[in-house]
């Protein structure tokens, strides 16, 4: 027996994933390298740089090795800052009669729930600004990881899903 098509189909959405009656938006930072890959890169950089520094130290150039350590410390600090924000993202879910917005930024996690019929979705200042989701005295801004020219389309998509809820 064929099931009737669901009221909300996945072809309608550009940014969302639809599974049954649930709609999810996963907005993540575009990272070219994962934190574990970055760790392996840093470890190989340490082996090579300290190997060269040790070779120079053994051949009578003692200042190369301390500068190699200084360089690796600075690069390691930069990599640590990058890795801290590599997993940043926003998750918006319309499920179980609630709109749930979860934000993760540098290890800080924030979760806000709204009733779909009491939510306003609008650009903060202009069409290219962040999207403000507000209701019940709370508000949260989303869309950091979407290109500014696509934020209005994301806001329309969220509004459409809320109307269908």
128 and 102 in a common domain: yes
The parent domain of residue 154 ranges over: 10-29+88-164
Q: What pLDDT is attached to residue 1?
A: 41
136 and 109 in a common domain: yes
Q: What pLDDT is attached to residue 3?
A: 40
**Does any domain span residue 55?**
yes
- Which residues, given as ranges, of the chain have pLDDT below 50? 1-10
**Does any domain span residue 2?**
no
> Rounded distance, CA 159 to CA 157, Å?
5
**Does any domain span residue 4?**
no
134 and 59 in a common domain: no
**Does any domain span residue 5?**
no
């Amino acid at each position: 027996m064929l099931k009737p098509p669901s009221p909300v189909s996945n072809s309608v959405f550009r940014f969302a994933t639809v599974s049954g009656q649930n709609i999810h938006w996963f907005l993540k930072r575009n990272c070219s390298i994962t934190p574990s890959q970055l760790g392996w890169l840093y470890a190989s950089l340490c082996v090579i740089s300290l190997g060269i520094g040790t070779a120079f130290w053994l051949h009578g150039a003692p200042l190369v090795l301390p500068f190699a350590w200084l360089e690796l410390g600075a690069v390691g600090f930069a990599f640590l800052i990058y890795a801290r924000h590599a997993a940043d993202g926003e998750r918006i879910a319309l499920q179980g009669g609630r709109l749930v917005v979860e934000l993760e930024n540098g290890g800080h996690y924030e979760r806000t729930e709204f009733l779909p019929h009491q939510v306003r979705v609008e650009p903060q200042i202009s069409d290219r600004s962040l999207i403000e989701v507000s209701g019940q005295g709370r508000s949260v801004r989303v869309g950091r990881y979407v290109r500014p020219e696509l934020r209005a389309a994301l806001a329309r998509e969220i509004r459409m899903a809320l109307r269908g809820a």
